[in-house]
Every structure is written in structure tokens, then in C-alpha cells.
Amino acid sequence: MVRELNNKNASFASDFEKFIKKSRDTENDVSGVVKEIIADVRIRGDEALFDYTKKFDNLELTPDTMRVSKEEIDQAITACAGETLNALKIAAKRISDFHIRHIPENDDVVDNDGVALGVRWHAVDAAGIYVPGGKAAYPSSVLMNAIPAKAAGVPRIIMVVPSPKGYLNPLVLAAANIAGITDIYKIGGAQAVAALAYGTESIEPVDIIAGPGNAYVAAAKKEVFGTVGIDMIAGPSEILVVADNKNDPRWIAMDLLSQAEHDEVAQSILITDDEKYAKQVIMAVEDHLTTLPRAQIARTSWDNHGCVITVANIKEAASLVNRIAPEHLELALENARDFAGEIRNAGSIFIGRHTPEAIGDYIAGPNHVLPTSGSARFSSGLSVLNFMKRNTVIECTEAGLKAIGPAAMVLADEEGLDAHKRSIGIRLDKAE
């Protein structure tokens, strides 16, 4: 049964802390295996990729067949329903339009001492997008990971996707084509991450790797970080819904299950100020579970990790939300926008009764790659900024150096770095 908490109870504070600190990470430590695979790819390059692909995906590859051909992409697009392709194009445009708005501008200023300062933004030279393969593939993930890179101006975007027994999901290839990806390779797992980070005979290395994957992919991304950038290490999906009793309980119940159906360790939380309404939502969840195709997965998630929290006043929910720092936050409230002003920690906020989280997964525009497991306290969702870096610019005139140089020399002297001090002083005609 789902866990129920009530802040009227004396034990609520300790019960709440135990709940949010409970780990949902059930993966075994695979770092040792991953390190071996990465080292092997660095040494043997393509040959290692072919061996691992044969072993894990039951697929024989060569330098000519590892890359997805234009003919394969065209065939995949032909195999997709026109209505689905149109939906992908609508989503792609909305995602692109949103992310383009957040490209940062260069900045220049001359301060009161006459020193020119500035910031220059540049896209990285190459990005690698990891996409899970097989029949349970997600074209929306392709759009959400690749389009921000394209919007940022990354000139080379390549995609890796495992192809078990040679199967490539047509929608994944169609989404890659719509997103502007032209280089696609039929490899996956830690070996694909290693190829993106270090390169092989056939694959040029990239500067950043983005995209979801299993425990091996996550461990590989951790291992190569520093050689390349990574988007984040994402944990199981989660949703927190703050709702009053003016919502149809069936709506809220389905929103909770929309995340529970992802996997058994996903998490769904409801906060409400009406005990009777909380029971109605729980009953509605039970009712929906009788009809959902992924009911067994959703049931395990709901029973093991779900929670319904009742508070005396809905305003008290804000502090709980900020403590949980959820990946997805729905505010199905009368004054939802005002309540949103109290929220500091959340990956993405869905405001109002007619904004289900699922609309953000596909088509709203903001990215669905979001911080999980409380990391919204210090990080943000995927954006153009993940695919950009900045240079700072400093320019001193002779007068500017005379204005600020002496103070710098004092600090260099205090730190015992005499060459630092002299490199400034020699320009100011100060005696050594």
C-alpha cells in the first residue's frame, strides 16, 4: 500500500525525513566492468566496439555498417505514420523555439578604472547524444537532447543507439533526422560512451555527451567526465503534485501514475490539504491500475515509493516541496501561480489544473531532461547552456593597469608569488 503521512501527527517531521532520504537506487555497482570496457575501447577502437556489439546486441558490424546509412534513415521515415511524423515536427519546432530564446548574449563593459571586461559565448565543437535502443525507444528523448545542441549552434552532433539484432526504431531515426542529426552509429552501452569520449578509427570524439541510459551508461558517463562534459547523471523519474479538493481526483491519480509507469523505482507524491480528497485520489489510482497496460510496473512504483501527504494548510506544502526538490512539480491549485512564487527547488513546474506533466514530456517546449533525486536544489534541466561555454575577456590600457595594478601587486606579494608581482610592476616602471 502507498505510504500516507499527515503533518498533524507528532511523528511527521521524522517520518518525512525518513521518507525523502530513502534511496531508490537499486542498481548494482558496475564501475569495475565499465572501466574495463572503456580501457579496451581506448586501446582497440573499432575492433572493441564490434566485439561488444556482437556480445551484447547480437549484431555483427563493420566500419561500413556501423554508421546508419541515408537509405536506412529514408526507409525508417517511410515506415512512420504521417500523423506521428507531423507530431514530431510540431514538438521539434516548439522545443527549438523555446531553447533559442535562452541563448546568452556576449557582454562588454569598460569599468570606472578604464579596464575593458567581457564575456564571449561559444558552442562546443561537437556533441554526442546517447539514445536507448530496442523496441522500448523514445523519440521524444532524441528531440529533447539534440535540439538544444542544434539551437546552441553545435556544428557536429552525432548519435549512438544500440541496435539489438539489427533492429532500429523507425521513430528514433525519424526524430534524429528532424532534429538535424546526420551521423548515427549502431552502438550502445559503456562502449559507445567510450567511443564518443575518446574516439575510434571511425568515430571522432566529442566535447559533451548527453542522453539517458542504463546503469552501465551512467557509470561510463561518470568515468569519462573530465575528458568530456556530460549533461547529468539522472536517477529514477519522479513527480510531486500539490492539489486542492477542487480537482477531479481521477485527473490527479492519472498524473501520479504517468510517472509510476516509467519503472518500478519511479516515485509519485501527492500533497493536499483535504484528508477525504486524499483518500479519493488513492481510490482513483487503484481504479486506474485495473486498466493501464503497464499496471504491474506502476503498481510496484506506487506501493513501494509513492506517498500521499496531508497538510493542515496548503501553504505549508511549499516548504515540503523545496525540501523534496522534485524533478516534476504539478500545482493544481486555485492560486497556482502565486504558490509557484514560493518554490525554489524543482526541475520543472506545471501550473494550473489543465497542465499535466505529460505535456512537458513531449510538446510544451521546455526540456524534459531534468534533475532527479533532490538535485534540483543545485542543478537545472538540459538547455542550450549545456552545449556552450564562455570565455572571459580582460583588456587593460596603460592607465587601467596603473589604476588596479598596485593592488594586485600587494596581493601577489602576500601570497609569495614574486613573478606575479613583477610581471605587473615591470610594466609600471616599478623597481624590482
Residues identified as active-site:
327-328
- The grid coordinates of residue 416 equal 609569495
Q: How far is CA 327 from CA 4, 12, 153, 345, 349, in A?
A: 21, 23, 27, 9, 9
Neighbours of 206 (CB within 10 A): 25
Q: Which residues contact 352 (CB under 8 A, 6 or more apart)?
A: 331, 332, 336, 337
The grid coordinates of residue 39 equal: 580501457
Nearest-CA neighbor of 154 among 133, 134, 128, 177? 128
Structure letter (DSSP) for residue 131: -
> 39: exposed, middle or buried (C-beta count within 10 Å: 0-12, 13-18, 19+)?
middle
What nine digits make up the cell of 35?
572501466
Residue 322 CB coordination number (10 Å): 16
In angstroms, the first-to-last Cα distance of the chain is 78
What angle is formed at CA 199 by the lines to CA 198 and CA 202, rounded to 5 degrees? 170
Output the furthest CA–CA distance in the chain (Å, rounded). Answer: 86
**CB 371, CB 347: distance < 8 Å:** yes
Q: How is residue 284 written as a grid cell?
A: 482513483
Nearest alpha carbon to residue 45 among 205, 285, 186, 259: 205
DSSP 8-state code for residue 269: E
Q: How many CB atoms lie within 10 A of CB 217?
A: 24
Angle 208-211-217 from CA coordinates, rounded to 5°: 90
Task: Tell me the Ramachandran region of residue 88: left when phi exceeds 0, alpha when psi lies from -120 to 50, beta otherwise.
Answer: alpha
- Strands of 213-272, DSSP E: 229-230, 238-243, 267-272
